[in-house]
């Protein structure tokens, strides 16, 4: 097989906004515009324009701070990346990246990160040694521009905030694989440029009421897998929890219940690759979402997020060596493996006992519906052992292929590989190759729209080996590369967030040609006469399946589908696997 052209780099459109001539030394104490959160004593959050102005000012005043515009967002505005680089940066620093405002109504992290950068600027707090800090100040720019005071119906402040949907009403925290938005493409550029060791996405949570202001939603450690997964569960999370508790900020895992009491126990959230931390774990980045509790006063939530960010930076610095070592090892965890695990599900037979600080749940009758309702009584607190189900295991697996061949016409898939820094090559000439091809045997489809899609699930495939003519210009993606997990999770149809499940290949689900029954009758008779084995299977099916036996169209269709007249493309997954 000969291959040519190599495309290995994503498109980076970077415009530096720094004006180095105006940059001053940090000792000259220029006046930084006050932050809306501080000015309003915790009542307000900054507008998008104020946030960007703040970081631009900071980059003008502090040579350790830089701000870049990276590509663009659906709103037409660019996405910004802000970097804090200590004056004496060590070689191979631990890179920690904070993503804010993916849901702009959950603005806690936007404010907390500004306060953190202000403290660093004023030298009120020093970045621990060996750490370089990055932030996307507001990821959902379109949502932040759509400012209102009502869309977070039950949230306790701030006074005004952005909307969850982006400029085209997508939830960006479901967009990391299907990538309908320019925002996600900008994110890919930033993520692969920075290659963070630790990734933090800031949110506000709403499922039940309890005493905690802070909850953490770390990427699921069994799914992250390898030495990094073990490090996360056994060392990183306990250190973060202990550190915060010692500062008077008890924290619990994300309370994954809705409209019921957490005291019954709860299951860890499964952050599949469509979510930020699920996406970053495909590159063995230790990722998490901070989820503050929406009923706690806004100043307390921002303060909690601020303390949590500092704690994450401290613990990352303390565990820098181990995090970087286990990350490196994780990139090789499948080098000798035959199978790749997919579709992680909770193991309900095992749980972790933890102490939970809750409010008593009361059952009463609704004055509106006359039916039962619940209420959390904040005057009645409890501390009680609670079962936390956080062990997951793979419910599926695939044999790891050497590579995938993507016919060149599937440009949407190839574009996304490029954005995600996946290396591939193109065939220099037409080539016949032995490949494995999937037939889609079954799947379910949502009955209502979900993030601009009618997502498939429970996808089943069968595989067969065949010789295929690959065309000049078709793409070969070798699996053995740093983005291996991304390649498998997107290209294997059975994976929960595969491109297949996100409707990229729905055109193969519809049969394009059929038959005219009044003519095909005679041809079908001929087909059966000439194929005894087929005739036998046909007769047996009629015997066993009464519906089939009573449906003349189903019978003709069945014969048509067994014949040479049935189109090959129907339900044939166009990306094929090369096994060796
Ligand atoms: Zn959120």
Q: What is the pLDDT of residues 94-141, one digit of tens each?
A: 999 999 999 999 999 999 999 999 999 999 999 999 999 999 999 999
Query: pLDDT at residue 13 above 60?
Result: no
CA angle 451, 454, 460 (to 5 degrees): 125
Please give the angle made by the CA atoms of 17, 21 and 24, to the nearest 5 degrees.
Answer: 95
Find the 278 Cα to ligand 1 centroid distance in Å: 14
- Residue 476's DSSP bridge partners are 405, 425
Residue 218 has phi, psi (to 5 degrees) of -75, 155
- One domain for residues 472 and 534: no
Does residue 521 share a domain with residue 439? Answer: no
What pLDDT score does 228 carry? 97
Residues 345-383 have pLDDT tens digits of 999 999 999 999 999 999 999 999 999 999 999 999 999
**Under a CB-based contact definition with an 8 Å cutoff, are residues 247 and 297 in contact?**
no
First to last CA, the chain: 12
In a domain, 436, yes or no: yes
Q: Which residues contact 393 (CB under 8 A, 6 or more apart)?
A: 222, 341, 344, 345, 347
Which pLDDT belongs to residue 27? Answer: 44
The reply to whether 441 and 472 lie within a common domain is yes
Indicate whether 111 belongs to any domain: no
The pLDDT of residue 291 is: 98
* Residues 523, 457 share a domain: no
Distance of CA 455 from the midpoint of ligand 1 (Å): 21
Q: Is residue 445 part of a domain?
A: yes
Percentage above 90 pLDDT, the chain = 92
Q: Which two tokens stand for residue 451?
A: 């993030």
For residue 76, the tally of other CB atoms under 10 A from its CB is 11
Q: State residue 26's pLDDT score.
A: 45
From the CA of 106, how far away is ligand 1's center (Å)? 6
Question: Which phi and psi (to 5°) does residue 78 adopt?
Answer: -75, 170
Distance 316 CA to ligand 1 centre (A): 23
427 and 574 both lie in a single domain: yes
pTM of the model: 0.93
**So what's the pLDDT on residue 3?**
43
**Confidence class of residue 29 from pLDDT cuts 50, 70 and 90?**
low
Q: What is the average pLDDT across 62-89? A: 97
Q: Supply the pLDDT for residue 17.
A: 41
Residues 469 and 544 in one domain: no
Answer whether residue 15 shows pLDDT above 80. no
Let me know whether 548 and 416 are in one domain.
no
Tell me, in angstroms, the distance from the centre of ligand 1 to residue 204's CA: 6
Instruction: Give the chain's mean pLDDT.
Output: 94
Q: CA 297, 303, 308 angle in degrees (round to 5)?
A: 125
Q: What is the mean pLDDT of residues 488-507?
A: 98
- How far apart are the CA of 299 and the centre of ligand 1, in A? 18
What distance in angstroms lies between residue 170's CA and the mean position of ligand 1's atoms?
13
- Residue given tokens 């060996």 in the structure block: 130
Residue-number span of the structural domain to which 532 is assigned: 517-561
How far, CA to CA in Å, does 97 sit from each of 132, 137, 394, 428?
9, 10, 29, 40
Q: What is the pLDDT of residue 260?
A: 85
In a domain, 550, yes or no: yes
> What does the pLDDT look like over 207-242, one tens digit per residue?
899 999 999 999 999 999 999 999 999 999 999 999
- Other CB atoms within a 10 A radius of the CB of residue 179 amount to 21
Handedness of CA 473, 479, 480, 483 (dihedral sign): positive
Judge if 423 and 465 occupy the same domain: yes
pLDDT tens profile 452-484: 999 999 999 999 999 999 999 999 999 999 999
- pLDDT at position 75 is 98
Same domain, 456 and 574: yes
Distance 172 CA to ligand 1 centre (A): 10
> What percent of the chain has pLDDT above 70?
95
Question: Is residue 417, in this structure, part of any structural domain at all?
Answer: yes
Same domain for 541 and 500: no
- Strand, coil or helix: 48: helix
Q: How many domains does the chain have?
A: 2
Q: Residue 443: inside a domain, yes or no?
A: yes
Instruction: State the distance from the centre of ligand 1 to the C-alpha of 453, rounded, in angstroms.
Output: 20
Q: Residue 381 domain-assigned?
A: no
408 and 504 co-located in one domain: yes
φ, ψ of residue 411 to 5 degrees: the values are -65, -30
Q: 325 lies in a domain?
A: no
Specify the pLDDT at position 235: 98
| Closest of 42, 565, 31 to residue 297, by C-alpha | 42
| Rounded alpha-carbon distances, angstroms, from residue 354 to 114, 239, 253, 360, 388 | 33, 15, 10, 17, 7
418 & 555 share domain: no
């Amino acid at each position: 097989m000969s291959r040519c052209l190599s495309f290995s780099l994503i498109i980076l459109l970077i415009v530096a906004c720094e004006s180095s001539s105006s940059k001053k030394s940090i000792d000259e104490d220029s006046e930084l515009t006050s932050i809306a959160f501080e000015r309003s004593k915790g009542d307000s959050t900054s507008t998008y324009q104020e946030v960007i102005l703040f970081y631009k000012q900071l980059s003008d005043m502090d040579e350790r701070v830089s701000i870049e515009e990276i590509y663009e967002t659906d709103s037409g505005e660019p996405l910004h990346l802000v970097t804090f680089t200590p004056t004496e940066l060590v070689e191979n620093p631990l890179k920690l990246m904070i993503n804010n405002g993916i849901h702009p109504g959950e603005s806690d992290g936007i404010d907390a990160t500004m306060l953190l950068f202000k403290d660093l600027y004023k030298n009120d707090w020093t970045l621990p040694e060996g750490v370089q800090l990055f932030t996307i100040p507001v990821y959902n720019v379109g949502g932040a521009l759509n400012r209102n005071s009502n869309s977070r119906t039950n949230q306790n402040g701030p006074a005004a905030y952005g909307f969850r949907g982006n400029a085209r009403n997508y939830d960006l925290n479901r967009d990391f694989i299907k990538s309908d938005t320019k925002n996600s493409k900008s994110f890919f550029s930033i993520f692969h440029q920075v290659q963070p060791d630790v990734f933090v996405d800031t949110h506000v949570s709403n499922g039940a009421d309890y005493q905690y202001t802070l909850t953490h939603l770390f990427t699921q450690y069994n799914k992250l897998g390898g030495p990094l997964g073990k490090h996360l569960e056994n060392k990183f999370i306990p250190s973060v929890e202990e550190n915060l508790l010692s500062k008077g900020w008890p924290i619990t895992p994300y309370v994954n219940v809705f409209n019921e009491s957490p005291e019954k126990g709860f299951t860890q959230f499964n952050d599949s690759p469509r979510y930020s931390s699920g996406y970053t774990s495909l590159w063995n980045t230790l990722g998490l979402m901070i989820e503050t509790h929406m009923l706690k006063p806004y100043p307390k939530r921002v303060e909690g997020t601020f303390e949590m960010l500092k704690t994450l930076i401290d613990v990352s610095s303390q565990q820098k060596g181990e995090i970087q070592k286990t990350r490196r090892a994780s990139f090789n965890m499948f080098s000798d493996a035959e199978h790749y695990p997919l579709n992680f599900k909770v193991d309900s037979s095992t749980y972790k006992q933890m102490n939970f600080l809750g409010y008593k749940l009361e059952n009463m009758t609704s004055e509106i519906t006359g039916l039962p309702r619940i209420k959390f009584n904040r005057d009645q607190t409890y501390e009680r052992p609670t079962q936390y189900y956080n062990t997951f295991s793979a419910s599926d697996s695939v044999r790891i292929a050497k590579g995938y061949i993507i016919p060149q016409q599937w440009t949407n898939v190839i574009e996304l590989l490029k954005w995600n820094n996946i290396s591939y090559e193109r065939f220099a000439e037409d080539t016949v190759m032995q490949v494995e091809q999937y037939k889609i045997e079954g799947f379910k489809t949502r009955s209502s729209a979900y993030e601009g899609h009618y997502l498939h699930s429970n996808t089943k495939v069968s595989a067969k080996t065949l010789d295929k003519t690959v065309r000049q210009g078709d793409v070969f993606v070798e699996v053995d590369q740093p983005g291996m997990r991304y390649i498998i999770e997107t290209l294997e149809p059975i994976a929960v967030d595969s491109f297949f499940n996100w409707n990229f290949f729905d055109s193969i689900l519809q049969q394009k040609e059929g038959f005219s029954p009044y003519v095909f009758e005679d041809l079908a008779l001929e087909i059966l006469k000439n194929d005894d084995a087929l005739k036998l299977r046909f007769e047996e099916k009629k015997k066993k399946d009464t519906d089939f036996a009573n449906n003349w169209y189903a019978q003709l269709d069945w014969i048509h589908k067994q014949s040479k007249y049935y189109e090959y493309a129907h339900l044939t997954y166009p990306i094929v696997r090369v096994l060796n």
